[in-house]
Amino acid sequence: MCQPFFVQRWRLGTDRYRPPDEPICTAEYDVVELPDDTVPKAFVLDHHYSGSYPAARWRFGLFHRGVLQGVAVFSHPCNNRVLTSVFPGRPTDSVELGRFVLLDEVPGNGETWMLGRCFSLLRHEGLAGVVAFSDPGLRFNRRGEPVFGGHVGTIYQAHNGMYLGRGTARTLTVLPDGSILSDRAQQKIRAADRGVRYAAARLVHFGADPPSAFERACLTAWLQYWTGRLCQRVRHRGNHKYAWSLNHQVRLPRSLPYPKQIDT
């Protein structure tokens, strides 16, 4: 299991870790805004453990000599208060770092360099700031094997993020491989909302019978039955929350002491 001061990397759904002080040869890398979700979504779904993609507003790619090796997706959260509790103005005046995925061959300080480039580009959009979360919780699959080492936000600390404490504690719905069936995905199923077929397919993949009909009453009962049979309920103490101002007129509260230990 990783030490919390290492930086997290990804490769085909598995988290990996590198020392944070490895230098990156910036002359060999470029950070480029991506025009749509096609490329970053495929990259995130291939490599990030969550197996999900957020509601993107801006997307950036890290290219090493023309080869994509990382993606940062800045998105809008499900709850506007995630942003408005930190930054003034409308919810759309700030943004969440929804996914940040670098492959394991990128040197250790590649994240902080890429973050700096992304933030510079986002300043031109007139945003007030960025929030980001790190998940410090260990996670195991049904066989008891560790599948996610947890991280305290080492790169956010290295990039001088203001630590604002923990997000809301909650109960996670953990699939047999140790990944999470998010509350948002479950709500899509209950409401027969857009994306319901993709969300339901995650349970079908692990052995659930396909829904007999995509109607609210049917889907609510179907979700309750199959999550009860296939999933574990795990209490989570809340993700660590960080923030950065992108506007010199926007002042953030004083940072709390940085966390150093993963949850066990």
We report the CATH number of the domain holding residue 142 as 3.40.630.30
Under 8 Å between Cβ of 29 and 117: no
Clarify whether residues 95 and 14 are in a common domain.
yes
Q: Enumerate the H helices of 81-179 as residue ranges.
A: 81-84, 110-123, 154-158
Under 8 Å between Cβ of 199 and 208: no
Clarify whether residues 204 and 140 are in a common domain.
no
Question: Mean pLDDT, to the nearest integer, of 51-70?
Answer: 93
How far is residue 75's CA from residue 99's CA, in Å, rounded to a whole number?
8
Q: Name the CA radius of gyration of the chain, rounded.
A: 19
pLDDT reported for residue 156: 93
Clarify whether residues 154 and 26 are in a common domain.
yes
Whether the pLDDT of residue 2 is over 50: the answer is no
Clarify whether residues 84 and 199 are in a common domain.
no
pLDDT reported for residue 148: 79
Q: What percent of the chain is predicted at pLDDT more than 90?
A: 63
Summarised one tens digit per residue, pLDDT across range 135-153 is: 998 888 888 887 777 889 8
Summarised one tens digit per residue, pLDDT across range 157-187 is: 989 999 999 998 999 999 998 889 989 899 9
Clarify whether residues 88 and 114 are in a common domain.
yes
Name the strand (E) or helix (H) holding 68: strand 67-75
Domain contains 218: yes
- Give me the residues paired with residue 12 across strands: none
Domain contains 124: yes
- Give me the residues paired with residue 99 across strands: 73
How far is residue 139's CA from residue 150's CA, in Å, rounded to a whole number?
8
* DSSP code, position 178: S
Domain contains 146: yes
Domain contains 254: no
How many independent structural domains does the chain possess?
2
Closest CA to 181 of 242, 212, 224, 122: 224
pLDDT reported for residue 1: 43
The range of the structural domain enclosing residue 197 comes to: 182-230
Mean residue pLDDT across the chain: 89
Clarify whether residues 210 and 118 are in a common domain.
no
What does pTM read for this prediction?
A: 0.84
Clarify whether residues 41 and 152 are in a common domain.
yes
Clarify whether residues 125 and 13 are in a common domain.
yes
- Give me the residues paired with residue 63 across strands: 30, 68
Clarify whether residues 158 and 226 are in a common domain.
no
Query: pLDDT class for 10, splitting at 50, 70, 90?
Result: low
Clarify whether residues 102 and 196 are in a common domain.
no
Question: Mean pLDDT, to the nearest integer, of 67-74?
Answer: 96
209 phi, psi to nearest 5 deg:
-70, 140
Clarify whether residues 75 and 46 are in a common domain.
yes
Measuring CA to CA, how many Å separate 9 from each of 45, 64, 133, 194, 233?
14, 16, 16, 31, 26
